């Protein structure tokens, strides 16, 4: 149970750790100290809903199409290999920059922007419904699957609240090209490790 929860936590954390439009927006709002709690809660709950659908949906598909999880796992592994390679390439090239600009808006406007960045982003669905759902198939037992999903959802809460409230501490560090390179190297290594796990499959039946 603990192993499944930890795998879920690390899988989700690795997928959301790369700075994108949504994360940059959360960081920006954190720097402005504007609607941080509402924004972080919205982003984390959105991820939790999508993760739950991904984990539950794959369980249903396993029963209907036994070969589907393996096919999806291989597709997920291919994406993770490419994504990991992109992170290694970014680490090699360097030149990252993240600026926090813009004025704080109302809470409604802030959450509307967050909704667009979350629910209109195709990568969110690929990460939660596809990749996290695929990795969850390594745990056929209901208890392990629930632990995996809970761990993945917990990663979203930890990440977004840490990013939002820790923004003022993180921003100076992340202005450093070296810090970005180390971050990208770490993400790339985790992505490739996950890809290897999907390709090789579970070492032994769960029990």
For the CA atoms of 198, 22, 189, 74, the dihedral, rounded to the nearest 10 degrees, stands at 20
In this prediction, residue 97 carries a pLDDT of 54
Between the alpha carbon of residue 59 and those of residues 33, 115, 122, the distances in Å are 40, 27, 22
Q: Count of CB atoms within 10 A of residue 110's CB?
A: 20
Q: Which residues of the chain have pLDDT under 50?
A: 99-102, 203-207
In this prediction, residue 112 carries a pLDDT of 92
Separation between Cα atoms, residue 151 and residue 161, nearest integer Å: 16
Half-sphere exposure of 60 (CA within 13 A, CB side): 7
Spatial CB neighbours of 17, under 8 Å, sequence gap ≥ 6: 159, 183, 187
Residue 19, φ and ψ in degrees, nearest 5: -70, 120
Between the alpha carbon of residue 79 and those of residues 15, 42, 127, the distances in Å are 12, 27, 10
Indicate the pTM of the whole model: 0.68
């Amino acid at each position: 149970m603990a192993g499944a929860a930890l795998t879920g936590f690390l899988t989700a954390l690795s997928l959301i750790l790369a700075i994108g439009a949504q994360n940059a927006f959360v960081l920006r709002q954190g720097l402005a100290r504007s609607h941080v709690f509402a924004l972080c809660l919205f982003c984390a709950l959105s991820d939790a809903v999508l993760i739950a659908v991904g984990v539950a949906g794959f369980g249903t598909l396993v029963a209907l199409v036994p070969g589907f999880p393996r096919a999806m796992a291989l597709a997920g592994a291919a994406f993770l290999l490419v994504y990991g390679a992109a992170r290694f390439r970014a680490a090699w090239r360097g030149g990252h920059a993240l600026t926090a600009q813009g004025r704080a808006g109302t809470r409604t406007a802030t959450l509307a922007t967050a909704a667009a960045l979350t629910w209109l982003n195709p990568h969110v669905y690929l990460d939660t419904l596809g990749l996290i759902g695929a990795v969850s198939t390594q745990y056929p037992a209901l208890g392990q699957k629930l632990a995996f999903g809970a761990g993945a959802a917990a990663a979203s809460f930890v990440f977004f609240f840490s990013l939002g409230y820790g923004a003022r501490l993180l921003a100076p560090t992340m202005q450093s090209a070296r810090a970005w390179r180390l971050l990208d190297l770490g993400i790339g290594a985790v992505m490739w490790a996950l890809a290897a796990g999907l390709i090789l499959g579970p070492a032994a039946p769960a029990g």
